[in-house]
Each structure stands twice: as structure tokens, then as C-alpha cells.
Structure 1
Amino acid sequence: MSRKGMKLLVDSLTRSAKHFNKSEVECLVKLFDTLVAKACREYAGAGFDRTVFRDTLHSALGMMDEVVLDRVFSIFDGDNDGCITVVEWVEGLAVLLRGTLEEKMKLCFTVYDLNGDGYISKEEMFQMLKNSLLIQPADEEPDEGVKDLVEIALKKMDHDHDGKLSFTDFEKAVRDENLLLEAFGPCLPDIKSSISFEQKIFRDIPK
């Protein structure tokens, strides 16, 4: 890409991604180029695929849950073509690493709403929790423990008592108790991983 092209891209992404300055966007574009070089050639340099995305979030940000990673990939991949472009990459990371509470609530809710109908149903809570709870007490029927957790979550978060969570329910619950943001599985990198990722990627930016 020419210097002029790069400048236009960085200016545009600094506006749309909001949470990064120009120097940071430049570093993220460089990282993007490195990842594209690892990707399969089918995207001809336009972006990278699900495998590279998952490997990167796994190794760089410590995100382990495969179902969650797949869902986060779908959120980044706004046009649903199986390829993460530079715009999707930078705008997605802006929310993942530095999003407002509102942005992070939308991201987590979308991850948990597996069928995209605008609600988190009991079945979806069950699926997500079953995934993220790896160690079960040996003497208990594993699914029973998960079902109990679903009931506890509903009791705490289902404000209109309709047996499922709308975004309004979810938002109210999270605003009352921030820890409920990732109630059904780890959608966001932990603070330590985020900080070390940023330090590594942005290390060449003059202070």
C-alpha cells in the first residue's frame, strides 16, 4: 500500500474505531498485514480467516473458549464472508480491548444470543455455561449443575419474568452488577492479557 493509501486508511479507521489514536491504528494495521501473510491465499491479501483469528485471540489475548471465539469471529466479520478485513479487525479490537460498557454489553449479548433472535433463551444459557464449565463435581449429574446455574441466572437477570433475557434485561442486570457482563462465558480478554497485548503491539510508539 502506498504511503498516501496508508494515511487515508489510518485516518478513516481512527475516526471509525474511536478508541485508538493514529499511531495505534498504524500498529494494528501492521499486525493485520502480518496475520494476512499467515492466512490461506484464498483471500488474496484482503484479510484472514477464522483459523488465524482464533489462533491470534487465543495466543495474544488468552481467549480459550472455542464456541465464544467462533461467535466473536462472527461479530468481527460484519459482512459474514468468512474473512476479517483490516476495517473489521481494527473496529472489532476497539470494542474488545477498549469498548465502553455499552459496547461490551452489546458484544457479550450477541455472543450469547446463539440464534440471533434478540433473546438469550434458557437453552442458549445452558449451551454457553455447559461449554465454559469444564470441571464438574464427580458425584453430580453434570447437566443438573448447569441447569441450576441457568435458574439462578434467570432469577437474577430476567426482570420481566418471561423466561428469557432481552437486551433490556441483560443491560439492567449488568449495570446493577458489572460482574454479570460475562455471566455465560468469557467473551472478553482479561485485563492482564489486554494490557500485555497492547504493550507488545504499541511498544514502538514514542511516549
Structure 2
Amino acid sequence: MSSKRQEQAKIIEKLSKKKDKEHGMCHFRKNEIEKLLSMFNKYVENTTNKKKLDRLKFRDILHDMFGMTDDMLMDRMFRAFDRDSDNYINHDEWVLGLSVFLKGVLEEKTRYCFSVYDLNQDGYISREEIFQLLKQSLIKQPSEEDPDEGIKDLVELVLKKMDKDHDGRLSYADFEVSVKEEPLLLEAFGMCIPKPEKCQTFLNLISDEYGMKY
């Protein structure tokens, strides 16, 4: 076995044994991890870094593979994947990020979505952040004289429903309880998890039946 193959085998083994919810656990089988790594290597071969995904390439993948278009959310998703905050996504971050993105349990997806929506990363989703997120994701109606007023009203409705401790902002605890009560609130402020059909299409790419033609 070549040294490159040995190194990849070690990475696959390490990732397949990840069981720590706090620092990332892996829901993929070894053969799926192998295909994800091959996919990753293909994506990075034409990048400047050659070993890591940059923000623009990651955004292209989100757009092409999952039909995502919201620049602000895609930037926040990049930061959620980029666990060591070095402005690149390495192969571990790629696999573990996709594990939550595609196969995560509700608790993992709740943490992930909260981190995406917490725009300034202070541990809360403020009234201002909710406004910015809703303004970005809602389609403006041409007939509306002041669409911001409608969004402000919606922000207040959201806070009334989700702000459990009534402090005018959403803590992780507020968000978690709200999502457990109503799972649809997981993506209350914009799409940051792929639609089921897009998710399944991607998973088909790394299934045993797929011929590695990406």
C-alpha cells in the first residue's frame, strides 16, 4: 500500500470512530467516508491551497449540489463547517460537517442551525440578527410600501413564540426548546440544511452503487 493510501486509510479509520457529539461525530460508513474524501480531493485539486476548500469553492458546492443561493447564510455555513476558524475547510471538517448537514440527529442539526443564525457568534440570536436573516430570506412584494415594517412585525411574532425567558433575544436554550416543540422552526430564519431530495441525491453519490464518477 502506498504511503498516500496508508494516510487516507488512517483518516478514514479516525473519522469512522468519531462518537463525540460536542466535537463532532460521524454518521458515515467507511466506504462513504472514502468516497467523500475522493470527492474532496477532486474539489481541492484546482484550488490555490490544493489541500483545503476555500470559501468560494465551498459556496459553489452548496449552490451546485444543494441549490442554495443565500450568500449570507452560505458564508455562515462555511464558518460552521470551519471548526478551527482558519478560513479553510480541511478533509476532517468536510466529512464531519456533511455528517451533520446530511445525516445529523435533531440535536446536532439544532446546534448547527443556531451557529449559522448567530451572526456575530456571541451565543445569542438578537432581534437585529433575526431581522437581517428574515429580510435576506423573505421575498419582497413589489406592492409593499415599507417591507421592513412587515419584517419587524414578524420578528416580534417570532420572539413571542421562541423567546422562552422573555429577554428579547434567543439563547441556545430558547432555540432548542422551540425546535423540540416544533421541528419546522429548525430553519425558521433561512435554509441552511438541504431539502430532502437534494440530500438524497448527494447521498446517492457516495452509496455503494455509485461508480465514483464525480
Q: TM exceeds 0.5? A: yes
Give a deviation string over 1:37-73, Cα, whole Å, max 9, x none.
Answer: 132x2x2x22121011000011101122111100010
User: Is the partner of 1:185 in helix, strand or coil?
Assistant: coil
Give a deviation string over 1:142-175, Cα, whole Å, max 9, x none.
Answer: 1011111101100100111111111111111110
Give a deviation string over 1:67-92, Cα, whole Å, max 9, x none.
Answer: 11000101111121121110110010
In structure 2, distance between residues paired with 1:83 and 1:118: 22
Which residue is equivalent to 1:15?
17
Say yes or no: does 1:32 pair with 2:40: yes
Which range moved further: 1-10 or 145-154?
Answer: 1-10
Counterpart contact for 1:65–1:132, Cα < 8 Å: yes
Q: How does 1:36-51 map to 2 (within 5 A)?
A: 36-39=44-47, 41=48, 43=49, 45-51=50-56
Counterpart contact for 1:63–1:188, Cα < 8 Å: no
Counterpart contact for 1:114–1:124, Cα < 8 Å: yes
Which residue is equivalent to 2:184?
179
Structure 1 unaligned regions, length at least 5:
none
- AA aligned to 2:130 is M
Q: TM-score, normalised by structure 2?
A: 0.90
Say which of 145, 153, 157 aligns to 1:148. Answer: 153
Which residue is equivalent to 1:199?
204
* Structure with the larger helix share: 1
Which residue is equivalent to 1:6?
8
Q: How does 1:130-169 map to 2 (within 5 A)?
A: 130-136=135-141, 138-169=143-174
Q: How does 1:42-121 map to 2 (within 5 A)?
A: 43=49, 45-121=50-126
Offset at residue 18 of structure 1 (A): 2.1
Q: Indicate the percent of aligned positions where both proteins have the same amino acid.
A: 49
Offset at residue 137 of structure 1 (A): 5.1
Which residue is equivalent to 2:22?
none
Structure 2 unaligned regions, length at least 5:
19-24
In structure 1, distance between residues paired with 2:188 and 2:88: 29
Which range moved further: 28-37 or 194-203?
Answer: 194-203
Offset at residue 136 of structure 1 (A): 2.5
Cα RMSD for the two superposed structures: 1.3
Which range moved further: 94-103 or 56-65?
Answer: 56-65
After superposing on structure 2, the runs of 4+ consecutive aligned residues of structure 1 that deviate more than 6 Å are none
Q: TM-score, normalised by structure 1?
A: 0.93
User: Is the partner of 2:45 in helix, strand or coil?
Assistant: helix
